[in-house]
A and B are shown apart, each in its own frame.
Chain A
Amino acid sequence: MGAELISALFGGLVGYAMASGGKTPTDAEVIEALRSSKPTFFNRLSLNTATTRTNEKHEIVGNFLKVENPEDVDVSVYVRLNELESEPIDLTKEGLIKAPIYRFYITNSAGTGTLNLTVGRAFGFELQDAITKVDIVAQHISELSVDISAQSIGNISVDITAQTIGNIDINAAGSDIQMPIDIQGALIMMPIDIQGQYITLDIDIVAQTVGNISIDLAAQSIGDVTIDINAQTVGVSIQGEWQVEQGNQKNISGGDDDLAPSYYTTLYYDIPVGKVLYIYAASFSIRATDYATDGDKPQIGWGTIYTTSGVTIAQFGGNGGQVFPFGLPIKIVAGDRINFDVYNYAAHNCNIRHCILAYEKSV
């Protein structure tokens, strides 16, 4: 057995030691042995599986056999190490075979794809897997593009403590996304377009000023929407104020002059189809028609508000008039009629004016 083969089978140092009678070689002796034997450290071999092989012999010497791409072929490729009597090993199921090799035999049926092999000839020579985990602590990163097209991804934890961040574009098309975000930057512009089928989105805004927040909810069902406003100025209108603000107020007034005692004036309104009237106040005033003669006398009036459907809503009276605000709005539905009569209960003729304050909503 020559010095080259011994070196190849058992590694540079061990092989040289065996060839040197068991004593430990010096570095100079190892270098000299390498220089004289001139070993090559590895050989590459490509096997196109379109070619059918039966114990195809390869005279390559080495200490290990590495399969580079077992996933690229669709048939099993078998190797018998050194001798035909060796048990066949399916290369497509092995990543690395470590063994003394001076030759091997390849067998495969017809398939597609090319299997690449590397046969190394010394223990001091290694091929490592690709690096897939990166820990970056650089003080400045210019561009970091990551394109992930995997069908399923576990957890991606990102901890960015840089003082300035350029653009972060996130396009999440997953059907279920939970994405807690804690941003404490002094200036943030963050357009978010979320089209997920299920979204949990907690927002806590403590900014000192908030401009416009436009929310367009097109969801078919919305659960709870909790709003906690701690702003220093907030305008909140009650229903009546809001309806007036929207131009839905209904002020209905009337009256008569020179009404004799026990006579009355009236006004009435039929609620239109598709509307509901809410009355929140009513008033009347009454004064003597002949003010010079009866002006110092009691000017007693009595008002009654009722519907044609038979409901008496309010009765009130007073000397000179009265204002009657309702604690709750009185609701009158479409098709019914609201009537407001005011009687002259003074002992002389009087002029009477009366008014209903309400708002009307479409239904």
Chain B
Amino acid sequence: MKEGLKRLYSGDFNFMNQSRQADGSTIITLSKEGETQTFRFRVKKLYKEDEEVLEHEVIETKPPKHILDRMKEAKGK
């Protein structure tokens, strides 16, 4: 089972977005407070017996380095 699907079925997320696709599949995006990884996967026949994950990716969602550096600098003042 892909990590994204594990998160969905265990409820281990805070935010979920569902987007229907023209082919009947659904793109699901899951993220969790305090984590920098977002799980994005396209699934066909969600929750059905013959459910199938067509695509799965893990996206790093933390801010870019230059933003983090500016935040660090601002906090230091």
Contact = CB atoms under 8 A, between A and B. Distances in A.
B34 interface: yes
A254 B9 contact: no
B16 A249 contact: no
Contacts of A255: 19
A125 interface: no
Interface string B13-25: 1111111100000
Interface string A65-94: 000000000000000000000000000000
B11 A247 contact: no
B47 A249 contact: no
A270 B47 contact: yes
Interface in B1-48: 9-11, 13-20, 32-34, 46-47
Contacts of B20: 254, 256, 265-266
A257 to B, nearest CB: 10
Nearest to A271: B11
Nearest to A248: B14
Interface string A264-283: 01111111100100000000
A272 B16 contact: no
A253 interface: yes
Given A272-B10, A272-B11, A275-B11, A254 B47 contact: no
A68 B8 CA distance: 89
A337 interface: yes
Contacts, number: 46
A254 B17 contact: yes
A252 B11 contact: no
Contact of B16 (A251, A266, A275): A251
A252 B18 CA distance: 8
Contacts of B16: 250-253, 269
Contacts of B14: 247-251
Nearest to A353: B17
A268 B17 CA distance: 10
A127 to B, nearest CB: 83
A4 interface: no
A247 B34 contact: yes
Contacts of B18: 252-254, 267-268
A244 to B, nearest CB: 9
Contacts of B9: 270, 272
Which of B11, B32, B47 is the most central at the interface, judged by chain A CB atoms within 10 Å of its CB? B11
A309 to B, nearest CB: 14
Contacts of A270: 9, 47
Interface in A21-78: none
A360 B14 CA distance: 9
B18 to A, nearest CB: 4
Contacts of A252: 15-18
Contacts of A271: 11
A254 B11 contact: no
Q: Which 6 A-B pairs have the closest CB atoms?
A: A254-B18, A272-B11, A267-B18, A252-B16, A275-B11, A253-B17
29 contacts: A247-B33, A249-B33, A250-B11, A250-B13, A250-B14, A250-B15, A250-B16, A251-B14, A251-B15, A251-B16, A252-B16, A253-B18, A254-B17, A254-B18, A254-B19, A254-B20, A255-B19, A256-B19, A256-B20, A266-B20, A267-B18, A268-B18, A268-B46, A268-B47, A269-B16, A270-B47, A271-B11, A272-B11, A275-B11
Interface of A: 247-256, 265-272, 275, 337, 360
